[in-house]
Amino acid sequence: MEPVRAVEGGRRGNRDRLAQNRSIDVQALSLTALAFFLLSSTVVGIRLLCLARRTRQTPELAIGLAFLLGGVLGYVPIVLASAEGLVAPAAAPAMLVLGILSLDLGAACLWWFSWRVFRSAGHLGRVVFAAALATLAVSLVGEAASGGFDRATLSHSAWYWLGFGARTSAFAWCFVESFLYFGRMQRRVRVGLAREVDAHVFFLWSLTTAAVLSMFLLRAIAAGSQGTLPPLVVLAQAVLGLMAGALIWITFFPPRWYLRRYEST
């Protein structure tokens, strides 16, 4: 019996090591995807702000700020504060405040973009934008008043999830408006009033916002899970991060091969 038990133990050990190696591979892919997404949002955000400086146009300014504030300036402080040993425990709450404030400002810029680009006429867009700003402000004040911004308990706070919902909704609204506008542009293309390449920009932007929205939803699932995330969820986050990073580049600064493809139609 002892040799049989030894063989079975060896098999279990091999399976455990294989599962551990796969987990490490998926985690490495996830970190690579996050780095690529943050790099894309940072570079494109800076380029859009430079463009906005020349054009003095709201869309470029709003999206440029949204990429920077909601990207590297928001996530890096949170990652640093959440990881053990990277910053002093006394500095972690301040890092969390900085990160969440940046994410909120980035989301506010995205709400601003959707209002000014898609709903500038009438009062609906203005009301939605004001409600979003109020929600973000209430969540921050509520978190501060309740003594929050502790990395161990932040995700258990109702105030945090209120702000999280407002940030997620910014991408949801932008996705819906972009996709609907793409449909309207397609009708204009069919009658010769718009170019296919211009219409497709809104389709790409709807895909970008859908990918980021899905990353937010997976983040909510991750927060509700106990222990280590399933590799499938981590893999899905990585794929969405890579897709969003690539779409950001193509949407705002499309390569020549892409332009040639649609300008010929």
pLDDT in tens, 197-241: 889 999 999 999 999 999 888 878 776 655 566 778 788 888 999
CA–CA gap between residue 133 and residue 108 (Å, rounded): 6
Domain contains 240: yes
Range of the domain at 130: 30-258
Q: How confident is the model at residue 111 (pLDDT cuts 50, 70, 90)?
A: very high
CB distance 177 to 132 below 8 Å: no
Distances (CA, A) of 99 to 2, 16, 122, 149, 165: 56, 37, 34, 10, 16
> What is the CATH classification number for the domain harbouring 126?
1.20.1070
- E strands in 138-225: none
Q: How confident is the model at residue 263 (pLDDT cuts 50, 70, 90)?
A: low
Q: What is the number of domains present in the chain?
A: 1
Domain contains 36: yes
Q: What are phi and psi of 88, to 5 degrees?
A: -65, 140
Domain contains 5: no
Domain contains 24: no
Q: Which spans in 56-71 are helix H?
A: 58-69
Q: What's this model's pTM, rounded to 2 decimal places?
A: 0.84
Tokens 């405040």 belong to 97
Domain contains 85: yes
Domain contains 87: yes
Domain contains 70: yes
Domain contains 46: yes
Q: How confident is the model at residue 93 (pLDDT cuts 50, 70, 90)?
A: confident
* pLDDT tens readout for residues 53-87: 999 999 999 999 999 999 999 988 888 887 776 77
